Amino acid sequence: MGISTCKGIYEIIRRTLSMVNRNIVNHGEVVGYIVSKMLEYERVYTHAEIVNYTMVAMLHDIGMYREENIKNVADFENIVVWEHSVYGYLFLKYFTPLGNLADIVLYHHLAYKKLKTVESKHEHITECLALADQMDTYMQQKSGMMDKSYFINNVDVRFSRAALELFFKADARYGILKHLSDGSYKDEINELLDKFELNERERRAYLDMLVYTIDFRSEFTVIHTMSTVNFAQQLGRLMRLSSVDLKNLYYGALLHDLGKLAIPVEILESPGRLNDADMEIMRSHVTITREILDGIVDDAIRDIAARHHEKLDGSGYPAGLTEKDLTFPQQIVAVADILSALYGKRSYKESFDADKIKDILRSDADNGKISRRAVDCLMRNYDTIIKNYEKEKANTVGLYLMIKQKYDEIIPGFRALGNN
C-alpha cells in the first residue's frame, strides 16, 4: 500500500487534521522542522530517532484539536497551556508508536527554570521542542519576524541556553529561518519522512490514533468505526477472503469515516432527524474521505472506505454505483457499517435488539440493496460475531475511557503549576 513510509502516513494525518484546524497543523510542521534541523546539527541521532522526534514535535499540539474555533494558535498557546499538553501526552502515549516519547509533549510548556526541577527522560528534546514552539508562536505574533534578543533575554529562565545556542548554530548552517520564510521547509520535512519505512504495527498504530481523533467531534463515531472494523474483519475471515483482501478490508473499514472530522458537531451529534440540507452535509463525509485518501493509499483501500454507502441497486451515494461496480470487500464493509450503526448507541437512538437488527438487514438484502452472501453469513454467525466484538470492545473502549479518567486525575496537578 502507499503508506509504507512515514511520509504517506503523515500526509493522511495532515489532510485529516487540516479539516479540523489547518492553523494547528501548520504550527506543528514549523515546530517539527525546527526541531529536526537542531537535532540534525548535533549529529548524534540516527535517522529513525530524528524522524520519531520530528513526528512528536509535529503532533505536540494534538490535544488542541479538542477545542473548537481556535483561529489564533499563538494566543491560545499562551492562555490555555496544560489541558492540551496533558491530553496530547496521554493520546501519544497510548494511541501511537511514540508512547515512550510522550513525556516530551507533557512538559513542552514548562518554563526552563521549572523544567530543571522535573525528572524527564528526554530533557534535551523537551528543551528543543519548547524553544521551537515559542519561536513559531513569537513569529506568528510578529508577522513572521524573529527578534533574537527576546530569546537571548529570556535564556535560563524561559528557555534553555544550550537549546538556544544549538538553534543559532543550526540556523547558520541550514538557513532554518530562510526556509521557513520561503516555505521550502515543507519539502525538507517530506524528504526526511519519505526515507523512513514503517512496519505494519506502526502503520496501524498511527491510523488507529487518527481514528481516535474523531472523538474530538463525536465519541459515538469512534466507537462506530471500531465496531465496523471488527464486524468487517470477522465477516471477511468467515467468508475466507485472501490475506490481501483482509488487509484492505481492515484499512478501508478503519478509515471509512475520516471525513466526519469535517462535519459540524451539531450535525454529527444531532438528537433528531436531519433536514435535507443537513443530510446533504452529513453525506459529504464520504467524498471528503475519498479526497483525504486519494493518491496515498491503494485504490482498493480508498474505494472500500469511500463506497460504504453505495447500494447494489444503485440507490446509494455518492455515485449511485450498482453491484457490478462494487467489489465483495466493499460490499462486506457496507454490511458491517449498517450492523455497527444498528447495534451501537448514537446521539439519536439506543442500540436496537438482535431481532430488529436481523429484520432490517434481511429486508435490505431481500430488496437488493446489500449483499445477500454477506448477510446470510452474518445471520448464521450473528451471536458469535457479537460476542467476539463485545470481548474486543472491552479492550478498545476500555483504553479510551481509561485515558479520559487519567486526564481527570492528573490535570489538577498540572494546572497548579500555572502558565510557564
Mean pLDDT of 53-72: 84
The three cell numbers of residue 408 are 481527570
Query: Could you report the per-residue pLDDT of 13-48, keeping only the tens digit for each?
Result: 999 999 888 999 999 999 999 999 999 999 999 999
Give the bridge partners for 197, in sequence order: 5
CA dihedral 160, 163, 165, 169 (to 10 degrees): -170
Give the bridge partners for 159, in sequence order: 155
Are the C-beta atoms of 123 and 107 separated by less than 8 Å? no
The residues, ordered by sequence, that sit 6+ positions from 78 with a Cβ below 8 Å of its Cβ are 137, 419
Cβ neighbours, 10 Å, residue 369: 19
Q: Tell me, what's the pLDDT at 370?
A: 99
**What is the C-alpha to C-alpha distance for residues 35 and 58, in angstroms, rounded to an integer?**
9
**What is the C-alpha to C-alpha distance for residues 318 and 243, in angstroms, rounded to an integer?**
29
Q: Which residue has the cell 546539527?
A: 41
Give the bridge partners for 300, in sequence order: none
Mean pLDDT of 178-194: 97
The residues, ordered by sequence, that sit 6+ positions from 418 with a Cβ below 8 Å of its Cβ are none
- Does 172 lie in the same domain as 82? yes
- Does 263 lie in the same domain as 307? yes
Give the bridge partners for 222, in sequence order: none
- Tell me if 78 is assigned to some domain: yes
- Does 350 lie in the same domain as 221? yes
Give the N- to C-terminal CA distance of the chain in Å, as an integer.
44
Are the C-beta atoms of 308 and 256 separated by less than 8 Å? yes
**What is the C-alpha to C-alpha distance for residues 408 and 420, in angstroms, rounded to an integer?**
21
Are the C-beta atoms of 365 and 371 separated by less than 8 Å? yes
Query: Could you report the per-residue pLDDT of 133-177, keeping only the tens digit for each?
Result: 999 999 988 877 788 899 999 999 889 999 999 999 999 999 999
**What is the C-alpha to C-alpha distance for residues 356 and 378, in angstroms, rounded to an integer?**
14
Q: Tell me, what's the pLDDT at 3?
A: 78
Query: Could you report the per-residue pLDDT of 65-92, keeping only the tens digit for each?
Result: 877 666 666 555 656 678 889 989 999 9
- Does 282 lie in the same domain as 171? no
Are the C-beta atoms of 341 and 321 separated by less than 8 Å? no
The three cell numbers of residue 396 are 478498545
Q: Tell me, what's the pLDDT at 68?
A: 67
- Does 230 lie in the same domain as 182? no
Mean pLDDT of 239-263: 96
- Tell me if 28 is assigned to some domain: yes
Query: Could you report the per-residue pLDDT of 382-391, keeping only the tens digit for each?
Result: 999 999 999 9
Q: Tell me, what's the pLDDT at 76?
A: 59
Q: How many domains does the chain have?
A: 2
**What is the C-alpha to C-alpha distance for residues 102 and 86, in angstroms, rounded to an integer?**
10
Q: What is the DSSP string of 237-276?
A: HHTT--HHHHHHHHHHHHHTTGGGGGS-HHHHT-SS---H
Closest Cα partner for 268 from 256, 252, 279?
A: 279
- Does 123 lie in the same domain as 19? yes
Mean pLDDT of 236-244: 98
- Does 314 lie in the same domain as 172? no
Closest Cα partner for 226 from 83, 63, 340, 361?
A: 340
Are the C-beta atoms of 107 and 120 separated by less than 8 Å? yes
Q: How confident is the prediction for the chain on average, in pLDDT?
A: 91
Cβ neighbours, 10 Å, residue 388: 15
Pick from 199, 230, 254: which residue ends a domain?
199
CATH number where 137 lies: 1.10.3210.10
Pick from 199, 226, 259: which residue ends a domain?
199
- Tell me if 206 is assigned to some domain: no
- Does 229 lie in the same domain as 189? no
- Does 274 lie in the same domain as 182? no
Residue 64 lies in domain: 6-199
- Does 187 lie in the same domain as 233? no
- Does 226 lie in the same domain as 194? no
- Does 187 lie in the same domain as 324? no
Q: Tell me, what's the pLDDT at 37?
A: 99
**What is the C-alpha to C-alpha distance for residues 92 and 99, in angstroms, rounded to an integer?**
6
- Count, residues in the chain: 420
The residues, ordered by sequence, that sit 6+ positions from 385 with a Cβ below 8 Å of its Cβ are 231, 234, 235, 378
- Tell me if 416 is assigned to some domain: no
